[in-house]
Structure 1
Amino acid sequence: MVRAAAGEFKGLPGKDVDVTIPLRYDAGMRLRYRLPCVMTFIVAGIAAAEPNVPAGLPVFKHHSIVLDYKDLKYNPCNDVIIPSVIRTEHLDKPLGRYYLYYAPHNAPGGICLAYADRLEGPWKEYEANPIIRKDWPPHYSVSHVSGPEAVWVEEEHELFLYYHGENNVTRLASSVDGVHFQYERVAITAAMFDRSIEASYARVFRYTLPGRDNRWIMLLMGNCQGTRNIYLAWSKDGRTWEPRREPLLTPPPGTSQVAQAWYLPWQGKQYLIYHAHEARDKTYASLHISEVDPAFEHTRHLGVFCDRRSFSPDNVAQMSPCFIAEGNRLYLFTNVGPRLNQKIALAIAEIP
């Protein structure tokens, strides 16, 4: 039996599995390790939803709150969300080994930066946040900007940072140091998708779709008649994007909204990890998992990947997953707590 922060979890005997972690995580390293096949969380005498995921996927243990709005100099909304964590080895004069981009949800928002030498922290707030504001003359003036997503583009030798503002536009800025950015362009708009009025909370991954001449895919949230779905777009250069107009993933049974999908290739299969709001009460949100085919045309819901109560017995939401590997650990950053009043949390899966 292993002790977890929010209670106990019991595992069946493990088995050897091969894991391929993509370039985004740790230079394409290949690992072999043992993990329990099935986990059941027991929290405060109430069983959290049992993950219904393939054997061998990592099981995370809550580590800490790594970013609390109460400790921040720039804190317009008592809220921090959408962690995007990168290594800084390619950046000019990095402040630390890792950068964490984040933002408040509501106006005025603002894309912010924290840095650290260890993924566990301590994370230090950049002194001049926000690094991207809601007004960037002559390019735009909006009510807020939020939803940062940072990826290193080797062909450009630049960091691309995607963010939205307003909710119907995803924008792109670039940087050589990860701190000072130049505006690039509008990357995606809601008009590129059928019946959607939003195009926000993008995640971007290096992946070539079969039969297409692309290097990148974007998973983003759209809003079709009040229902948030996950949509797909692809690009060769990270600047100009071609959309698939219909949703890739819709809310699974028992949920009402989905957002913030993360692409996780594992043991030769493709998975999406995302948060979904419960249909009975949208206050509650947990991380779910779906399998997707290599062409990103069909998805199959597998169940709950990480129940919100695995963080703490009274936690109402766990959202916006961001994974990064380091050594024999896989790190999961999320925002937790009540929507519009959240903090950034870290959970870790050990890889013996």
Structure 2
Amino acid sequence: MRRFSTNPIIRPEMDAELGSNINGPSLIRVPAWVPNPLGKYYLYFAHHQGTHIRLALADRLEGPWRLYHPGVLGLADSFFAAHIASPDVHVLNEARQIRMYYHGCCLPTPPHQATRLATSADGLNFNARPEILGSSYWRAFRWQEAWYTLEMPGTLRRSHSGVTAFEQGPRLFTPDMRHAAVLPADDTLTVFYSNANDCPERILYASIRLEPDWHTWRPTPPTTLLRPETDYEGADCAIEPSRRGAVHHRVHQLRDPCVFQDEGRTYLLYSVAGEHGIAIGELTEN
């Protein structure tokens, strides 16, 4: 993967509001049908205990990126009480709609952290739906006229509409799986992910052959794609096993992968030094 020279594209010193926790990227190119866009690209991301979904704007992937105040989808409008995070955003051109799956806390019964859906016509103003769709940390994709999601720790769900009635399927990964990104291509799904308790936590990938019976899907053994190699990724910090939950200081860890495709190219965004910024690189054949 070719890391961008402008990394990290989101960093704490960009804006005092960002503080010491930055994670959960989801990037879109603003569709042409959105009137008066604020930039060519909208990058949604989060704080681990966020009161809203964050948004950064740019006209080039390399940046400069600027923070949009006051963010999008506040906690008061989310149907959750404690925090919201982990946006997973999709552009539906045929419906002229932008969908955002997001998780929140805390429900009195399991899953205590759950996912809901919000929709928007412009990527800025979202209307949340009260229905609980599943557990937390979703990545969604479409395959053969259905929507599938992968939630932490690697459990599949399926829905015809992608809006409601998500049927739970098998769990494909170990209980240590943390956050994932998905890249479908024909009948193959590539999953990028990290594991809590890895030493160091790093970005892995595995492939899944997509068969008509989704209960038969199985991932290949994982391969390491990225590990901390630069100071901004936390390579200057001590190597220690990672832990679940928020981290508010720099650590030797990478997590939160996000796949983005634009003009025939494929990119991967990820959280650096634990949850201390967001970087991006282009995925290449080698």
Seen in structure 2, the aligned counterparts of structure 1 residues 313 and 169 have a Cα distance that, compared at 3 Å, is closer
Write out per-residue CA displacement over residues 210-265 of structure 1, whole angstroms, 9 at most, x where no aligned residue.
Answer: xxxx43111111xxxxxxx21111122221132334412225xxxxx212222224
**Identity level (%):** 26
> Is the 1:259–1:276 Cα contact (8 Å) retained in structure 2?
yes
- Counterpart Cα distance in 2 of 1:328 and 1:293: 23
State the superposition RMSD in angstroms. Answer: 2.5
The residue that corresponds to 2:191 in the other structure is: 272
> Is the 1:173–1:182 Cα contact (8 Å) retained in structure 2?
yes
SS of residue matched to 1:85: strand
Q: Please tell me whether residue 239 in structure 1 is matched to residue 163 in structure 2.
A: yes
Write out per-residue CA displacement over residues 293-338 of structure 1, whole angstroms, 9 at most, x where no aligned residue.
Answer: 2035212223212223364633611111112233474322111113
The residue that corresponds to 2:92 in the other structure is: 153
Superposition pairs for residues 25-44 of structure 1, below 5 Å? none
- Counterpart Cα distance in 1 of 2:67 and 2:74: 16
TM-score normalised by length of structure 1: 0.67
> Is the 1:330–1:351 Cα contact (8 Å) retained in structure 2?
no
Q: Please tell me whether residue 344 in structure 1 is matched to residue 278 in structure 2.
A: yes
Q: Please tell me whether residue 102 in structure 1 is matched to residue 52 in structure 2.
A: no
The residue that corresponds to 2:219 in the other structure is: 299
- Counterpart Cα distance in 2 of 1:91 and 1:121: 21
> Is the 2:79–2:130 Cα contact (8 Å) retained in structure 1?
no
Q: Please tell me whether residue 313 in structure 1 is matched to residue 249 in structure 2.
A: no
Seen in structure 2, the aligned counterparts of structure 1 residues 238 and 92 have a Cα distance that, compared at 3 Å, is farther
The residue that corresponds to 1:61 in the other structure is: 3
Seen in structure 2, the aligned counterparts of structure 1 residues 324 and 245 have a Cα distance that, compared at 3 Å, is closer
- Counterpart Cα distance in 2 of 1:329 and 1:154: 19
The letter of the residue matching 1:145 is: I
Question: Which of 149, 157, 164 is the equivalent residue of 1:218?
Answer: 149
Question: Which of 156, 162, 165 is the equivalent residue of 2:101?
Answer: 162
> Is the 1:169–1:186 Cα contact (8 Å) retained in structure 2?
no
Write out per-residue CA displacement over residues 39-88 of structure 1, whole angstroms, 9 at most, x where no aligned residue.
Answer: xxxxxxxxxxxxxxxxxxxx33353111112322533x521111100010
Seen in structure 2, the aligned counterparts of structure 1 residues 173 and 300 have a Cα distance that, compared at 3 Å, is same
Superposition pairs for residues 13-24 of structure 1, below 5 Å? none
The residue that corresponds to 1:71 in the other structure is: 14
- Counterpart Cα distance in 2 of 1:146 and 1:268: 30
The residue that corresponds to 2:29 in the other structure is: 87
- Counterpart Cα distance in 2 of 1:351 and 1:118: 23
- Counterpart Cα distance in 2 of 1:232 and 1:103: 23
SS of residue matched to 1:84: strand
> Is the 1:288–1:304 Cα contact (8 Å) retained in structure 2?
yes
SS of residue matched to 2:202: strand
Q: Please tell me whether residue 285 in structure 1 is matched to residue 201 in structure 2.
A: yes
- Counterpart Cα distance in 1 of 2:80 and 2:218: 38
The residue that corresponds to 2:240 in the other structure is: none
The residue that corresponds to 1:111 in the other structure is: 53
> Is the 1:262–1:273 Cα contact (8 Å) retained in structure 2?
yes
- Counterpart Cα distance in 1 of 2:160 and 2:186: 26
Question: Which of 304, 313, 324 is the equivalent residue of 2:260?
Answer: 324
- Counterpart Cα distance in 2 of 1:112 and 1:242: 26
> Is the 2:46–2:54 Cα contact (8 Å) retained in structure 1?
yes
SS of residue matched to 1:74: helix
Question: Which of 155, 176, 188 is the equivalent residue of 2:133?
Answer: 188
The Cα shift of 1:156 comes to: 2.7
Higher strand share: 1
- Segments of structure 2 that go 5 or more residues without pairing to the other structure are 106-111, 238-251
The residue that corresponds to 2:270 in the other structure is: 334
The letter of the residue matching 1:314 is: D
- Counterpart Cα distance in 1 of 2:133 and 2:207: 25
The residue that corresponds to 1:201 in the other structure is: 137
The Cα shift of 1:117 comes to: 0.6
TM-score normalised by length of structure 2: 0.81
Give aligned pairs, total.
258
